A and B are shown apart, each in its own frame.
Chain A
Amino acid sequence: MSNKELYSPEGLRLDGRRWNELKSFTCKVNTHQTSSDGSSYVQQGNTKVMCKVNGPLEPKSKANSNNNNASITVNLNIASFSPVERRKRPKSDRRIKEMMTILEKTFSETVITKLYPRTQIIVDCYVLSQDGGILSAVANSVTLALIDAGIAMYDFVSSINVGLYNNSIPILDLNHLEEGDMSFLTLGIVGKSEKLAMMLLEEKIPFDKLETLLGIGISGAQRIKDLMDEELRKHGKLLISTAAS
Chain B
Amino acid sequence: MSTVIPKKRLASGLTVTQKVFVRSRNGGATKVVSEHYLRDDIPCYSKACTRCPEIVKPDANNQYPNFVLSDSPVYAEKYGHHYVVLDTNIVLLAIDLLENKDAFCDVIVPQTVLEEVRNRSFPIYTRLRALCKSDEKRFAVFHNEFSEDTFVSRLLNETINDRNDRAIRRCCDYFQKHLNQHRDKKVKQINVVFVCNDKKNRDAAAGAGIMADSLVDYVTNLPNGEDLLDFVPNMEDGPSFSHKKETKFPDYYTTARLMGGIKNGTLYQGSINISSYNFLEGTISVPSFKKPLIIMGRENLNRSFNGDQVVVELLPKSKWKTPSNEIVEEENMDANDNAEDGDSPNEIISDKERLFLLKEAQKASSEESSTRIQPTAKIVGITKRSWRFYVGQISENSVAKDSRTSNAARNCFVILMDRSLPKIRIRTRKAGELLGQRIVVAVDSWPSTSKYPEGHFVKSLGAIESVQAETEALLLEHSVEYKPFSKKVLECLPKEGHDWKVPTKLDGDEFIKKRKDFRDKLVCSIDPPGCVDIDDALHAKQLPDGNWEVGVHIADVTNFVKPNTPLDAEGAYRGTSVYLVDKRIDMLPELLGTDLCSLKPYVDRFAFSVIWTLDNDANIIDTNFHKSIIRSREAFSYERAQLRIDDASQQDDLTKGMRALLDLSIKLKQQRLDAGALNLASPEVKVHMDSETADPGEVEIKKLLATNSLVEEFMLLANISVAKKIYDAFPQTAMLRRHAAPPATNFEVLNEMLRVRKNMSISLDSSKALADSLDRCVDPQDPYFNTLLRIMATRCMMAAEYFPSGMFSYGEFRHYGLASEIYTHFTSPIRRYCDVVAHRQLAAAIGYESLDFSHRDKDKMELICKNINKRHRNAQFAGRASIEYYVGQVMKNNNNDTQEGYIIKVFSNGIVVLVPKFGIEGLIKLEVLGDANSAKFDDENFSLSFKDQNGDAKTISVFEHVNVQIKSVLDPATSKRKAQLVLV
Contact = CB atoms under 8 A, between A and B. Distances in A.
A198 to B, nearest CB: 24
A46 B141 contact: no
B38 A10 contact: no
A17 B850 CA distance: 33
A21 interface: yes
Nearest to A216: B60
A3 interface: yes
A4 B146 CA distance: 13
A84 B65 contact: no
A206 B34 CA distance: 30
B57 A18 contact: yes
A201 interface: no
A8 B57 contact: no
Interface in B109-130: 114-115, 118-119, 129
A9 B109 CA distance: 13
A131 B35 CA distance: 9
A191 interface: no
A10 B143 contact: yes
Contacts of A23: 35
Interface stretch (B8-16, B416-424, B534-542, B805-813): B8-16
Contact of A11 (B59, B114, B115, B118): B59
Contact of B59 (A14, A18, A46, A85): A18
B57 to A, nearest CB: 6
A68 interface: no
Given A8-B141, A10-B141, A20 B36 contact: no
B30 interface: yes
Contact of A24 (B8, B30, B564): B8
A19 interface: yes
Interface of A: 3-5, 8-12, 14-21, 23-24, 45-46, 84-85, 131, 167-171, 175, 177, 206-207
Contacts of B355: none
Contacts of B35: 15, 23-24, 45-46, 131, 175
Q: Chain A: interface secondary structure?
A: loop
| Most interface-central of A8, A168, A207 (chain B CB within 10 A) | A8
B145 interface: yes
A98 B438 CA distance: 66
Contact of B38 (A16, A19, A175): A16
A24 B10 contact: yes
A45 B33 CA distance: 11
B400 interface: no
B183 interface: no
A4 B115 contact: yes
A21 B34 contact: no
7 contacts: A9-B133, A10-B141, A16-B39, A18-B59, A84-B30, A170-B60, A206-B850
Contact of B34 (A3, A15, A18, A168): A15
Contacts of A8: 141, 143
B55 interface: no
B349 interface: no
A15 B119 contact: no
A154 B60 CA distance: 34
Contacts of A171: 60
B389 interface: no
Given A3-B115, A131-B34, 6 more contacts: A15-B37, A16-B146, A18-B57, A19-B59, A24-B16, A207-B850
Nearest to B43: A10
Contacts of A168: 564
B36 A16 contact: yes
Contact of B33 (A10, A46, A169): A46
In the A-B complex, list the 7 residue pairs whose CB atoms are closest, starting with the nearest. A16-B37, A16-B146, A11-B59, A3-B119, A19-B60, A169-B60, A24-B16
Nearest to A212: B60
B757 to A, nearest CB: 53
B853 interface: yes
B461 interface: no
A24 B16 CA distance: 7
B132 A9 contact: yes
Contact of A9 (B30, B115, B129): B129
Interface residues of B, number: 34
B32 interface: yes
A115 to B, nearest CB: 37
| Interface of B (DSSP majority class) | mixed
B746 to A, nearest CB: 35
B91 to A, nearest CB: 15
Contacts of B145: 16
A144 B853 CA distance: 39
Contacts of A16: 36-39, 143, 145-146
A167 B30 contact: no
Nearest to B65: A10
Interface string B26-51: 00001011111111000000000000
Interface string B361-384: 000000000000000000000000
B14 A21 contact: yes
Nearest to B118: A3
Interface string B269-308: 0000000000000000000000000000000000000000
A8 B42 CA distance: 13
A165 to B, nearest CB: 9
Given A9-B132, A9-B133, A15 B143 contact: no
A17 B37 contact: yes
Interface centre among A3, A46, A171 (most CB of B within 10 A): A3
A15 B59 contact: no
Interface string B131-145: 011000000010101
A202 to B, nearest CB: 14
A167 B851 CA distance: 13
A15 B60 contact: no
B113 to A, nearest CB: 13
A45 B854 CA distance: 32
Nearest to B12: A21
A15 B16 CA distance: 9
A106 B18 CA distance: 34
Nearest to A11: B59
A99 to B, nearest CB: 23
Given A3-B119, A19-B60, A170-B60, A12 B146 contact: yes
A160 to B, nearest CB: 16
Nearest to A171: B60
A154 to B, nearest CB: 29
Contacts of A45: 35
Contacts of B33: 46
B65 A15 contact: no
Given A46-B33, A175-B34, A206-B853, A11 B119 contact: no
Contacts of B57: 11, 18
Nearest to B854: A167
Nearest to B32: A84
Contacts of B65: 10-11
Nearest to B25: A85
Nearest to A86: B30
Contacts of A12: 143, 146
Interface string B841-859: 0000000001001100000
A11 B146 CA distance: 12
Contacts of A3: 115, 118-119
Contacts of B119: 3
A12 B65 CA distance: 12
A11 B42 CA distance: 10
A167 B61 CA distance: 13
A8 B59 CA distance: 11
Nearest to A169: B60
Interface string B84-116: 000000000000000000000000000000110
A132 B40 CA distance: 25
A96 B379 CA distance: 50
Nearest to A25: B10
A223 to B, nearest CB: 11
B927 to A, nearest CB: 53
Nearest to B61: A169
